[in-house]
């Protein structure tokens, strides 16, 4: 009888011995990068400061969003603290400057999405020919 109990324990012990290897393999598997954010869906210069633009759009809930102007070498970082998947930043820019946006969540970062600074609404560019 003692031998029967030993036979039943071996498969369980083998599985338990493999558990750390399975967990280690899960830790070593690559994680998918965050998706890059969409281009901003609203851009407009401030009325009283036309070289300051308000740029807004969608992001992952709770993400840090970085908007950077290539011409000026400056940008802004904002956190989606209310977790509604939206951001809005003000940056120094001129119409037709090239800029990019990226987002980070925890230790994960997305790729960049490039865009041209121009007046934009949810319907698209106010003047599609302004920066051609």
Q: What is the pLDDT of residue 82?
A: 96
Query: Is the CB of residue 94 less than 8 Å from the CB of residue 51?
Result: yes
Both ends of the chain: CA-CA distance in Å? 87
Q: What is the pLDDT of residue 33?
A: 80
Q: What is the pLDDT of residue 96?
A: 97
By residue count, the chain amounts to 132
pLDDT digits (tens, 9 = 90+) for 2-19: 555 555 556 655 555 555
> In the predicted model, is pLDDT for residue 95 greater than 70?
yes
In three state form, how does the secondary structure of the chain look? CHHHHHHHHHHHHHHHHHHHHHHHHHHHCCCCCECCCCCCCEEEECCCCCCEEEEEEECCCCCEEEEEECCCCEEEEEECCCCCCEEEEEEECCCCCEEEEEEEECCEEECCEEEECCCEECCEECCCCCCC
| Closest to 43 measured CA to CA, from 98, 104, 89, 8 | 89
> In the predicted model, is pLDDT for residue 28 greater than 90?
no
Q: pLDDT-derived band of residue 122, with 50, 70 and 90 as boundaries?
A: confident
State the fold for domain 42-124: Immunoglobulin-like (2.60.40)
pLDDT digits (tens, 9 = 90+) for 46-65: 999 999 999 999 999 999 99
Mean per-residue pLDDT, 66-91? 97
Share of the chain above pLDDT 70, in %: 77
| Closest to 36 measured CA to CA, from 97, 119, 123, 104 | 104
Higher pLDDT, 3 or 34: 34
């Amino acid at each position: 009888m003692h031998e029967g109990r030993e036979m039943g324990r071996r498969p369980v012990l083998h599985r338990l011995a493999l558990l750390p290897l399975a967990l280690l393999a899960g830790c070593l598997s690559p994680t998918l990068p965050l998706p890059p954010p969409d281009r901003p869906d609203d851009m407009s210069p401030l009325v009283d400061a036309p070289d300051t633009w308000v740029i807004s759009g969608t992001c992952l809930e709770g993400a840090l969003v970085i908007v950077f102007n290539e011409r000026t070498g400056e940008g802004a970082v904002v956190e989606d603290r209310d977790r509604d998947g939206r951001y809005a930043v003000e940056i120094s820019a001129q119409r037709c400057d090239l800029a990019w946006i990226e987002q980070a969540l925890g230790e994960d970062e997305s790729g960049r999405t490039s865009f041209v600074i121009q007046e934009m609404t949810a319907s698209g560019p106010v003047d599609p020919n302004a920066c051609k």
